[in-house]
Structure 1
Amino acid sequence: MKNKIQFALRLLFGIGYVNSGLNKFFNYMPVPDDLPEALIRVFTAFMEIGWLMPLVAVIEIVGGLLFIPPKFKALGAIVIFPISVGVLLIHLTVAPAGLPMALFIMAINVWVIIDNRRKYLPMVHE
């Protein structure tokens, strides 16, 4: 049962990140009209750094795709973790309305990392 729940959450999580990454390239999702001014300033600054958003998009797509299949979930969780931290920090600092979803996303990411902690041990042990 735990594996089915985790797979469903990984699938939704992965698809969400793939969708977010693709949207950064193709801009098919409308931007809400009621974005906080501070959030608009943050994203405007991100856009000024020409390479940053394409890099984030590629990491979201690759990390999201890796997060779904059981064989690569440990790698996907580590690849996407910095993006999840960024999402959480944005919602903690400038867009608190999205904080519950950001915490949920971070919880899924951390759960998969903790669940796969044995796979990471060779990276830190000789």
Structure 2
Amino acid sequence: MKQKITFVLSLLFGLFFINAGLDKFFHYMPMPKDISPELMKAMGGMMAVSWLMPLIAVAEIVGGLLIILPKTRALGALIVFPVMVGIVLTNTVTDATGFPIAAVFAAVLLWIIYDNRAKYMPMINE
């Protein structure tokens, strides 16, 4: 039962990140109309660094794909972790309206990391 729940959560999490990454390249999702000026300023700053958004998009797509597959889930979680930290910080410091969703996704990612902790032990023990 736990494996099925983990797979479903990982699948939804991975698809969410793949979608977010692809949207950074193809811009097919509409922008919300009620974005705060602080968030617009922060996003403008990130977009001013020309290589940052493509890097985040590639990390989201690759990490999302890897998280879906059980064998590569631990690696995918490591790739997505810095992006998730940025999402949580943005939704904490800049505009807290998206924080509940960010908190749920952060909890899923932390659960995936905890579930794969045995795979990380060789890095820590050395």
The aligned residue for residue 91 of structure 1 is 91
The aligned residue for residue 45 of structure 2 is 45
Which residues of structure 1 form unaligned runs of 5+? Answer: none
Which 4+ stretches in 1 moved above 3 angstroms?
Answer: none
What is the rounded CA distance, in whole Å, between the counterparts of 2:33 and 2:112 in structure 1?
Answer: 34
* TM-score calculated relative to the size of structure 1: 0.98
CA shift for structure 1 position 36:
0.7
The 5-angstrom pairing of residues 1-126 of structure 1 reads 1-126=1-126
CA shift for structure 1 position 125:
1.8
What is the rounded CA distance, in whole Å, between the counterparts of 2:47 and 2:57 in structure 1?
Answer: 12
What is the rounded CA distance, in whole Å, between the counterparts of 2:22 and 2:108 in structure 1?
Answer: 21
Identity %: 50
CA shift for structure 1 position 14:
0.3
What is the rounded CA distance, in whole Å, between the counterparts of 2:79 and 2:56 in structure 1?
Answer: 11
Count of matched residue pairs: 126
**What is the identity, as a one-letter code, of the residue corresponding to 2:63?**
G
What is the rounded CA distance, in whole Å, between the counterparts of 1:97 and 1:48 in structure 2?
Answer: 24
* TM-score calculated relative to the size of structure 2: 0.98
CA shift for structure 1 position 37:
0.6
**What is the identity, as a one-letter code, of the residue corresponding to 1:102?**
A
CA shift for structure 1 position 60:
0.2
SS at the partner of 1:91? Answer: helix
CA shift for structure 1 position 2:
1.0
What is the rounded CA distance, in whole Å, between the counterparts of 1:73 and 1:122 in structure 2?
Answer: 16
CA shift for structure 1 position 6:
1.0
**What per-residue deviation string (whole Å, max 9, x for no partner) do you get for residues 26-74 of structure 1?**
0000101110110000000001000000000000000000000110111
